[in-house]
Amino acid sequence: MNDQTTWQFYTSTVEAWEAMLASIASATESVDLEQFILSYDSIGIRFLEALKERARAGLKVRIFCDEVGSFSLYRANIVHELEATGIQIKFFNSVIPWNPNKESLWFFRDHRKLLVIDKKIGFTGGICLGDAMRDWRESSVRIVGPVVSQMTEAFEVMWNKSYHLFKYYFKRKKKGIDPETPNFEYITNAPLPGKRYMYKELIRAIKSAKHYIYLTTPYLLPDSRLLRNLKKACKRGLEVRLLVPENTNSKLVNIGAGTFFKDMLEAGIHIFRFKGPLIHAKTGIIDGKWSTIGSLNLDNLSLRYNFEGNIVSINKEFAFELERHFLNDLKNAKELTLEEWSKRSYLRRLLEILVWPLRKLL
């Protein structure tokens, strides 16, 4: 594989958890974990126990969690117990309005999913650490190579600037992946002026597409710019396929996503709804040459208001594997037609009208 980079994909939540736990157990220097959801339940406790064991062994162990997503852990009040073993832990963007360290809007959340072992092994994807996600259809990756240094740097930025969001300084070193440089990049997205790097990279890739665009997202509420560029791709004769869950874990988001379906279907965008467990993967493949996997959803929360992070690659083998997963998932999905959607109930239409004004906050 190019650039001395190796990887392993996981499409099962449990499989990915076990791989992460095994890598934590094999760590010899450091473990950095950044998570939107680290629940205080059986799987969360397994991870905490694994991290405590490494900290007791003398390793540098840091946990960085979003306070809203990981509220069950925050509420459990075990910070002192974790710190007693040598673990350093921080919670991002306090929900307490009078917190003296609070400088940002409560709405901004750290939605990234990142695990870095010894600054050499990286994990990312859509996977969270909670029993409720055990049966979800996920996509995550274990990667070894130069890109892990970027994942390490991204963690350091959030760790050091967690109480000073408006001093967030992560800067992307180039615009677009250059074929003369390594074929993998970890690209972040931040709700700050000029820091929506992953969003811009996705738009750039869509504009550059020549043949097809395959995107998987659990939450489909695109902003006007993303929707406009997907529709333009259809006008250029490209095949645009979107894979979404038949139903998400949010009724409000289900209704909100439906407000876009008619416009998308009329533009020629193909929408496939996955049947079975919630598909929570966040992946993209364009022309078999460009691909991405990470935490970014195609909704306004991710695109505009959350801190996110994705691996983007121009390695064809990497794209081929992700495309194989996408096509395999289509076997468990049904394509939504305009005729079918036009037959939805009047109650559903009414709910869509009520939710429409809120779409930019979902």
Q: Do residues 130 and 41 lie in contact, with contact meaning Cβ atoms separated by under 8 Å?
A: yes
* pLDDT for res 289: 95
Please name which of 130, 113, 116, 109 lies closest in space to residue 35, comparing C-alpha atoms: 113
Q: What integer is the mean pLDDT of 285-313?
A: 95
Give the model's confidence band at 29: pLDDT under 50 very low, under 70 low, under 90 confident, else very high: very high
CATH class of 1-168: alpha beta
- Give CATH superfamily name and number for 180-362: Endonuclease Chain A (3.30.870.10)
pLDDT per residue over 313-350, tens digit each?
Answer: 999 999 999 999 999 999 999 999 999 999 888 888 88
Which residues does 178 contact at the CB level (< 8 Å), separation at least 6? none
Strands 290-294 and 60-66: unpaired
Q: How far apart are CA 316 and CA 2, in angstroms?
A: 10
pTM higher than 0.75 for the full model? yes
Q: How many residues are given for the chain? A: 362
Rounded to 5 degrees, what angle do the CA atoms 190, 193, 194 make? 80
Question: Given a cut of 80, is residue 291 above it in pLDDT?
Answer: yes
Q: Name, in order, each residue with C-beta under 8 angstroms of 176's C-beta and a sequence gap of 6 or more.
A: 201, 204
Could you report the per-residue pLDDT of 100-148, keeping only the tens digit for each? 454 455 668 899 999 999 999 999 999 999 999 999 999 999 999 999 9
Domain boundaries, the chain: 1-168, 180-362
Closest CA to 295 of 222, 189, 200, 207: 189
Rounded CA-CA distance 82/76 in Å is 11
Per-residue pLDDT band for 248 (boundaries 50, 70, 90) equals: confident
